[in-house]
Amino acid sequence: MSEFFMLLGLSSTQAKIGVMLCDGTIDTLYMVGLASLLSILGGVPLGIVLLVTSKGYFFDSPKFYSVLGAIVNALRSIPFIILMVAIIPLTKLLVGTSIGTTAAIVPLTVSTIPFLSRLVETSLHTVPYGLIEAAESMGTPPWKIVTKVLLPEALPELIQNFTLTVIVIIGCSAMAGIIGGGGLGDIAIRYGYMRFQAGVMISTVIILIVMVQLTQLLGDFLARRVDHR
């Protein structure tokens, strides 16, 4: 790939930086993509559990809801940089190492699942309770009300919250570079900050901004497409 950049008129040093940024972008997309998927797979069910056990819903259980809510809130309150270090043993247990892009996915996922679960709970609470009562009056079981009423009705808000979660993960993935998480954050720290290469630092920031902008545009587009209200 360095030959491609040199064909563009760049010097060998600039070509190497270009290759490095491309590799860092791919690593970041890998981290963000997989962490986002795992966060959605974990955060949506957890958000549903929080909803259905809250007051007035199918499995109203104040004690269970309070305990689970306290755990979720505690995890949400831990700064990401501290969480990364705190769960290094768990990261090593799951992926065999605490350094690299794959290792960074573990704290990214652990950090965003409780964050997204609260967003999911809030989104589902926006569905008018009259729709739930109407479904219950027809003998619809709770799991069908969740999948056929709550989730479809709250889908535009859920997509916006998924978008917000992905953007948060993009920002956290850059912080993962502090402990060798790889990706653009690692490049910004090792080459931009430690070697005083302002151009590298600015380039990584621009790429991250573009990622966030594209993510937001896609999320807004999808939310408009599914919103039929």
Query: What is the predicted pLDDT for the residue at 133?
Result: 84
Query: What is the predicted pLDDT for the residue at 229?
Result: 62
Nearest Cα to Cα of residue 119 among 168, 79, 83, 82 = 168
CATH of domain 21-226: 1.10.3720.10
Query: What is the predicted pLDDT for the residue at 9?
Result: 53
Query: What is the predicted pLDDT for the residue at 142?
Result: 84
What lies within 8 Å, CB to CB, of 33 at 6+ separation is none
Task: Going residue by residue through the chain, which has 229 residues, state the pLDDT in tens, using 9 for 90 and above.
Answer: 555 445 455 566 666 777 788 888 898 999 999 999 999 999 999 999 999 998 888 888 889 999 999 999 999 888 888 888 888 889 889 888 878 888 889 999 999 999 999 999 999 998 888 888 888 888 888 888 888 889 999 999 999 999 999 999 998 888 877 776 778 887 887 777 666 777 788 888 899 999 999 999 999 999 988 876 6
> Taking the domains of the chain in order of start, what are their residue ranges?
21-226
Query: What is the predicted pLDDT for the residue at 227?
Result: 76
